């Protein structure tokens, strides 16, 4: 049955999806020894493979994620035993990230990104 469904889908309803063009700097950042660069690049790469993102929006997304991960790493490094200060710094960094993305990305890409991570948080819980 699944073979028949696959053939049917390919023959009659298969449409080519736009694919995101991933710049060469993202795979380089994945191999980076810096933790925050690797985490930001992996987040952007995973999202870009799943959703179509314009190149300008992808650059803005990468820059926002890099800044956020760097500030998050710095807050965890500076205040390892002061959870309330560390969490406040991380929350403010996340607000700055979303403000930066809202200003520099198209409205559709921003909305799609926010809903993707909102659904992911509801399904798996927060991991910040």
The per-residue pLDDT for range 49-78, each reduced to its tens digit, is 988 999 999 999 999 999 999 999 999 999
Tell me the C-alpha distance between 17 and 52, whole Å: 8
Cα–Cα distances in angstroms (integers) from residue 119 to residues 7, 42, 54, 116, in the given order = 31, 18, 22, 5
pLDDT of 127 strictly over 60? no
Q: What is the mean pLDDT of the chain?
A: 87
Tell me the C-alpha distance between 100 and 126, whole Å: 21
Residue with tokens 């996340």: 94
Contact 89, 56 (CB under 8 A): no
Confirm whether pTM is higher than 0.85: no
Q: What is the pLDDT of residue 106?
A: 93
């Amino acid at each position: 049955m699944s073979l028949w469904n696959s053939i049917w889908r390919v023959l009659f309803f298969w449409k080519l999806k736009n694919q995101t063009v991933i710049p060469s700097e993202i795979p380089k950042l994945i191999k980076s020894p810096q933790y925050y660069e690797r985490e930001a690049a992996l987040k952007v790469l995973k999202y870009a493979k799943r959703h179509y993102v314009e190149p300008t929006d992808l650059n803005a997304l990468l820059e926002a994620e890099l800044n956020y991960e760097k500030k998050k790493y710095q807050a965890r490094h500076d205040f390892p035993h002061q959870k309330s200060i560390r969490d406040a710094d991380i929350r403010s960094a996340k607000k700055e990230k979303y403000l930066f993305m809202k200003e520099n990305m198209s409205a559709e890409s921003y909305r799609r990104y926010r809903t993707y991570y909102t659904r992911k948080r509801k399904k798996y819980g927060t991991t910040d």
